[in-house]
C-alpha cells in the first residue's frame, strides 16, 4: 500500500510523461509542457492536503494551469479546499491509487445565478 505521508512525486512524473508532456524539474514540483499547455505540477502527501494554504499560493510568473497530484483518498478534501479558496488559476487534481492507476478530478462547474 502507498505511504500517504510521502507525496507521489515519481508517480506524478510518470503520469505526465505517459501523457506526452516534457518535464522541467523544479525540485519536488515540476512544470509539464505539451503543445501550448504549461502546467505547474505539485505532488502532495496527506499532511500537505490537510494544510494546503501555502502550497496553493500563486506566483505571477508561474503557469496559469496547476495540477495537484496526491493519493486517491485525499482528493475529496483537496477539491473541497480549492473550490472554497477560489485560487486565481485553473486547476485539476490527479489521484493516485495503490496500483499507480490515476483519476483526474476537476472543479465542479460554477452555477451562474438566474
Strand, coil or helix: what is 75? helix
Specify if 36 maps to a domain.
yes
Specify if 3 maps to a domain.
no
Bridge partners, residue 64, by sequence: none
Q: pTM for this one?
A: 0.87
Structure-block grid coordinates of residue 27: 525540485
- What is the C-alpha to C-alpha distance for residues 85 and 4, in angstroms, rounded to an integer? 23
How many structural domains are present in the chain?
1
- What is the C-alpha to C-alpha distance for residues 4 and 6, in angstroms, rounded to an integer? 5
Specify if 4 maps to a domain.
no
pLDDT along the chain (114 residues), means of 10: 75 95 90 93 89 72 86 93 89 91 84 45
Give the CATH number, domain containing residue 79. Answer: 3.40.1350
Specify if 85 maps to a domain.
yes
Closest CA to 13 of 98, 96, 107: 96
- What is the C-alpha to C-alpha distance for residues 101 and 105, in angstroms, rounded to an integer? 13
Specify if 112 maps to a domain.
no
Specify if 62 maps to a domain.
yes
Range of the domain at 43: 9-105
Amino acid at each position: 500500500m502507498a505511504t500517504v505521508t510521502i507525496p507521489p512525486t515519481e508517480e506524478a512524473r510518470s503520469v505526465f510523461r505517459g501523457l506526452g508532456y516534457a518535464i522541467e524539474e523544479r525540485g519536488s514540483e515540476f512544470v509539464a509542457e505539451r503543445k501550448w499547455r504549461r502546467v505547474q505540477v505539485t505532488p502532495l502527501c496527506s499532511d500537505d492536503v490537510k494544510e494546503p494554504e501555502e502550497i496553493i499560493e500563486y506566483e505571477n510568473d508561474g503557469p496559469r494551469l496547476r495540477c495537484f497530484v496526491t493519493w486517491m483518498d485525499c482528493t475529496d478534501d483537496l477539491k473541497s479546499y480549492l473550490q472554497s479558496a477560489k485560487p486565481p488559476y485553473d486547476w485539476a487534481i490527479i489521484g493516485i491509487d495503490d496500483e499507480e492507476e490515476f483519476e483526474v478530478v476537476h472543479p465542479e462547474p460554477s452555477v451562474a445565478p438566474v
